[in-house]
Amino acid sequence: MITRRSEFWKGVKAELPLLLGVVPFGMIFGVLAVNAGIPPLAGQAMSSIIFAGSAQFVAYQMIALGAPGLVIILTIGVVNLRHALYSASIAPYLTKLSPLWKCLLAYLLTDEAYAVTILHYLQTDEKPDADPTWNASSTHSLRHWFFLGCGLTLWASWQASTALGIFLGAAVPAGWSLDFTLALTFIAIVVPVLKDRSSLLAGIAAGVVALLTRSLPFNLGLVTAALVGILAGVCLEGRR
């Protein structure tokens, strides 16, 4: 039987494999933040208040370089622009929720929680709330509990790994190439979604544009690449 608890734990379990890619990053962030002279409590606060890996890495560098506060804040905003795309993508599944639930899930909407949740919704044929063929009343939809399970699992491990990095303080040898675990995590997420030619083209277009635009400041290349990829996918799909 589907219950809140069963959906929640399904989410936790689905998120667990990704921690292999996430935990090293949290630790590296903790180490770097302390070495840059950021007080331990502030380093931990970056992980719990900002709670966005790539933005935290950019922010700590700018703080260490003594960049103006306003510039740092704007940079965090731009680096996180892709989260607006996640928000739009997941929103149709969450329209029936209370504002409190929406705020909680929005706070937990990281790359990894979004990836696992949207993959689950796409593969289990969940429909947006507005879809006339979707009958949520039959088993009062509990899918937000899956999202919560994913989000809280990632949140807890991000906090714990940051703390570990801050207090252990030892640097991870660069030769271990631990950054590659994140690339592999994303590969594991993307490949099952490549079901047709239009999504394949969207992925290739986005990837190539990301390579061409990577020297753009503030991660703007990433958002540009994502938008080009989405456009390419829509165009190819529309031609059929």
Partner 1 sequence: MTLWMIILAGGIITFATRLSFILLLEKISMPALLQRALRFVPVAVFSALIFPMVFPQEDKLAFTPLNPRLISACLAALVAWRTRNILLTILVGMVALFVFQALI
Q: Which residues 54-93 are close enough to bind partner 1 by CB under 8 A?
A: 55, 59, 63, 68-70, 72-73, 76-77, 80-92
Smallest gap from Cβ 160 to partner 1, in A, equals 19
Instruction: Work out whether 32 is an interface residue with partner 1 (CB under 8 A).
Output: no
Q: Are 165 and 27 in contact (CB under 8 A)?
A: yes
- Which residues in the 5-24 window bind partner 1 by CB under 8 A? 17-18, 20-21
Window 134-153: contact mask with partner 1 (x via CB under 8 A)? --------------------
Smallest gap from Cβ 238 to partner 1, in A, equals 8
Q: List phi, psi (to 5°) of 69.
A: -55, -40
Q: Are 110 and 52 in contact (CB under 8 A)?
A: yes
Smallest gap from Cβ 1 to partner 1, in A, equals 25
Instruction: Work out whether 193 is an interface residue with partner 1 (CB under 8 A).
Output: yes
By beta-carbon proximity to partner 1, the closer residue of 72 and 154 is: 72
Joined together, the tokens standing for residue 181 give 């675990």
Q: How many CB atoms are located within 10 Å of the residue 132 CB?
A: 6
Instruction: Work out whether 225 is an interface residue with partner 1 (CB under 8 A).
Output: yes
By beta-carbon proximity to partner 1, the closer residue of 22 and 31 is: 22
Window 152-171: contact mask with partner 1 (x via CB under 8 A)? --------------------
Q: What does each C-alpha distance from 49 to 45, 56, 105 come to in angstroms?
A: 6, 10, 14
Cβ-proximal residues to 191 (8 Å cutoff; 6+ apart), any chain: none
- Which residues in the 200-219 window bind partner 1 by CB under 8 A? 202-211, 214
- Which residues in the 90-109 window bind partner 1 by CB under 8 A? 90-92, 94-95, 99, 102-103, 105-107, 109
Smallest gap from Cβ 87 to partner 1, in A, equals 4
